[in-house]
Chain A
Amino acid sequence: MEIKRVRLNAGKLLANNDIVMLIVLIAIIIVFTLINPNFLSFKNMMNIFYAASIIGLLAIGMTYLMIAGHIDLSCGTVAGLSGVIISVLLRDTDISAWPVAFFITLAIALGVGLANAVLVNVFELQPFIATLAMSSVCTGASYLLSSGRAVLISNQSLMHIGSGRVFGVPITVIILVIFFIVFGYILARTVFGRSVYMIGGNVTAAKLAGLNPKRLAMSCYLMSAGIAALAGVLLTARMHSAMPGAGSGGEFDAITAAVLGGVAFTGGRGNLVGCFIGLIIIQAFANGLTVLGVNSFWQVVAKGILLIAALVFDYIRRRGLSKSLEEEAMRHLDDETA
């Protein structure tokens, strides 16, 4: 009996995804630091966060949508398109203040988010297919706008946001952290956040309890597209140019971060704390491999394996959970009879 109890507790601990992933992250950091002590330096840590900032922003919108039981495969290309739009606006029009160009870009991106929401809500397309199609539309549009070439920017203040630092911390990292805190708080503590969990957990029950699933889903699509626009503009600011193909594949990394962080494809589960840990795991892993001098093509393979590992782990955890649930339910029924 005693042994069983201990095992159950270990099982409960394993069921807490955040703790498991934190342990994985610490293990990665220890291993890479043992191999190369430079890994743990402030400079390298900032590199990791810096590299994580664009994907991280996309992962925020992705987390909201996945918890709501949806998905946005267009967020990466919306980011790419947004970079092209702001660059073209600054190059080809009289607009010289980047914030003005940014708001126009944001408005167009929100239009894409709205289109996603309409396809899913009104025409009841599967989110997976609707946003995949939209992704292709955005990729094509960014090639058309840029004639397939990189669009350079010369706006100094925009470039500064991309590469500037405050006390050694890149501005984009500061933006990333602020966004995670703000959106993490919204998800965890507000009526909107709670409603997102409920529609993702059981859309019919949520509707019959007075929530409006379609409006909530629309808000999430708009949010995802809006944040993607910001991510694309920051990427452009960092690179000093917009590449028409940039951003595609970002949705994959965002999904990986979310899933590693315990966000379920089936909806209703996960949080942004977990997603942040997942994000850092991916980037620490990639950075560590770079520090070790591993071929970058292998890193792409490693990323895929990381996502598979996360999904397999989620499966094992769910299976364990459903078993313990069954036992718990049996015990509870017993209580009731007593």
Chain B
Amino acid sequence: MERYVEFEHIDKRFVGVHALQDISFRANGGEVLALLGENGAGKSTLLKIMSGAQYPDSGKTVLNGKEIVFHTTQDAINAGVSIIYQERQLIRDLTVTENVFMDFLPRKRFGIVDFAKAHAETQKIIDEFGIPIRSADLVGALSVAHQQMVEIMKAYRRNSQVIAFDEPTASLADAEIEVLFGVIERLRSEGKVILYVSHRLKELFQITDRIVILKDGKFVRALETKDATESELIRLMVGRDLGDIYNNLDRNAEKGEVVLDVRHLVSKKVRDVSFQLRKGEVLGFSGLVGAGRSEIMRAIFGADPIESGEIFVEGKPVNIKSPRDAINSGIGLCPEDRKEEGLVLERTIRENTTIPILKMISDHGIINTARERGIAKGSIDDYNIKTHSMEKIVIELSGGNQQKVILGRWMSAKLKVLILDEPTKGIDVGAKSEIYQMVCNLAKQGLGIIFISSELPEVLNISDHIVVIAGGKISGILARGEATEEKVLALAMREHTREERN
């Protein structure tokens, strides 16, 4: 029997927003269908309706000829629909088997769990996927990529007919993406219906067969991937021509003296790393996820203890034992995980902006409200944070605007070095190009910028030099002119095979 999902005139309103307007399209079994659109285009709402978390106001969803109505997420799972979310829904302290069989552990008599059977079946799936993990491994000990695989195995084990991926590669490096794509290919060949949501256009050309473009809750077009071009897709989803994001950047040409000098840094997962950063320079850090990029930065920033090595800021040795020490030495960090590590989500933009500079906005420990409001307003204006008030709670902002709040936080901190760890993760194209320009502007002001990114085109085009990390070490430094995706990948994989065997 041929499998398909068909959306017919789906309509959904929230207060003040028409989130989905008369959406109709069909996804066939045996093809990977991309859902493309900027944030707010309606992709998430559509996924939520598919998962049973939201209910459409009108319209129907048809699965293999039968209309399906989901009132709960369990209904959707029972009907064979699985959504693989960006945030993994796994229990870290349980084994792979327990996670894969979370909702249905096989039982023996008297309700006793048949672990032997569960492990055997899980290991079978793992082997089919061809991933070097064991069924008894704790999920918390696995790499992010492998955790993602466990999530997919869960859907696979349920024999889901429809599997939707929501930004599956957001936290994966290129080599890991290959593994993921292998698995998706396999699911496709089994005739499953696969929906694929991603902001990374390059991937769509690699893995998808057709692309459905949504904009402002409306269906724009469906086109065959092989007939599409990148610029056409951008034009269709943005509704305007962004041009070449990278070529139009107003870059900084003036490089100054060395502002950050790291010598023989050793810490947990970091082995003897040395590099120099100049004023006005954007230094890209590339490498596979787990290669130690973030760990190097955490050590420099005082978030992880340094075992040995020296750090010099403007030629003077600094002794950094905590983030506060780093900030006082003129180093700022925008962490990788905005929500978990960057923002105090339930507090306002104003309060989130001034955390590192509370001393500056206070007299004898008492906060000067006028000064604080002035700084918050300045950062909202300078960083183009879209909000009607600085008293807005940051959880209400979009990802792009949340990232700008974190960038804006460092505006008044008199920094010399700013470390950006995956600053564009999960952010739509428009906000991305804004952030690129902000990075260039900061470099123009004489800051040294460290730019970590798993997205190769981005790191290649933004950075003046690219440091490639593999296995906690620097495996090469390339200038922008000479760096290509192939060269960077080759360096990044240099120690990868050895690492995995350990």
Report A's interface with B, CB cutoff 8 A.
Answer: 4, 8, 189-192, 194-195, 197-198, 201-202, 204-212, 268-269, 324-338
Contacts and interface: CB of A to CB of B under 8 A. Distances in A.
A66 to B, nearest CB: 14
B346 A336 contact: no
Interface in B466-491: none
A208 B344 contact: no
A318 to B, nearest CB: 10
Interface string B193-218: 00000000000000000000001110
B174 to A, nearest CB: 27
Interface of B: 14-17, 19, 38-41, 45, 215-217, 301, 303, 322-324, 327, 333, 335, 340-347, 351, 355-356, 358-359, 362, 365-367, 369, 386, 393, 395-398, 400-401, 409, 428, 430-431
Nearest to A8: B15
A209 B367 contact: no
Contacts of A207: 303, 323
A18 B242 CA distance: 48
Contact of B216 (A192, A268, A327, A334): A334
Contacts of B341: 202, 204-205, 208
A202 B345 contact: yes
B395 A330 contact: no
Sorted nearest first, the 7 A-B pairs with minimum C-beta distance are A333-B40, A201-B344, A209-B355, A191-B358, A202-B344, A210-B327, A210-B356
A324 B366 CA distance: 34
Given A201-B344, A205-B343, A208-B335, A331 B351 contact: no
Contacts of B15: 4, 8, 324, 327, 331
Given A189-B367, A336-B431, A337-B41, A209 B409 contact: yes
A330 B366 contact: no
Contacts of A8: 15
Contact of B397 (A190, A330, A332): A332
Contacts of A4: 15
Given A191-B365, A330-B45, A336-B39, A211 B345 contact: no
Q: Is the interface of A mostly helix, strand, loop or mixed?
A: helix
Nearest to A197: B347
A8 B45 CA distance: 22
Contacts of A328: 396
17 contacts: A4-B15, A191-B367, A197-B344, A197-B347, A204-B340, A207-B323, A209-B355, A210-B327, A325-B395, A327-B17, A328-B396, A329-B396, A329-B397, A333-B39, A336-B400, A336-B431, A337-B39
A336 B386 contact: yes
A209 B356 contact: yes
Nearest to B48: A326
A242 to B, nearest CB: 36
A205 B341 CA distance: 4
A198 B344 contact: yes
Nearest to A7: B15
Contacts of B369: 189
A190 B40 contact: no
Most chain A CB atoms below 10 A, which of B45, B346, B398, B431: B346
A133 B409 CA distance: 40
B301 A190 contact: no
Given A189-B366, A189-B367, A330-B14, A198 B323 contact: no
A4 B40 CA distance: 22
Contact of B344 (A206, A326, A332): A206
Given A202-B344, A210-B355, A336-B398, A191 B362 contact: yes
Contacts of A204: 340-341
A208 B396 contact: no
Given A268-B347, A335-B40, 8 more contacts: A191-B367, A198-B351, A206-B344, A209-B323, A212-B322, A325-B396, A329-B395, A334-B17
A190 B345 CA distance: 21
Contacts of B386: 332, 335-336
Nearest to B19: A330
Contacts of B430: 336-337
A212 B302 CA distance: 12
Given A336-B398, A336-B400, A212 B324 contact: yes
B16 A331 contact: yes
Contacts of B409: 209
A189 B364 CA distance: 11
Contacts of A189: 366-367, 369
B366 A198 contact: no
Contacts of A209: 323, 355-356, 409
A331 to B, nearest CB: 5
Given A198-B351, A331-B14, A190 B396 contact: no
B347 A201 contact: yes
A166 B222 CA distance: 81
A332 B39 CA distance: 10
A269 B393 CA distance: 12
Contacts of B39: 333, 336-337
Among B342, B344, B351, B366, max chain A CB count under 10 A is at B344
Contact of B343 (A190, A194, A202, A337): A202
Nearest to B335: A208
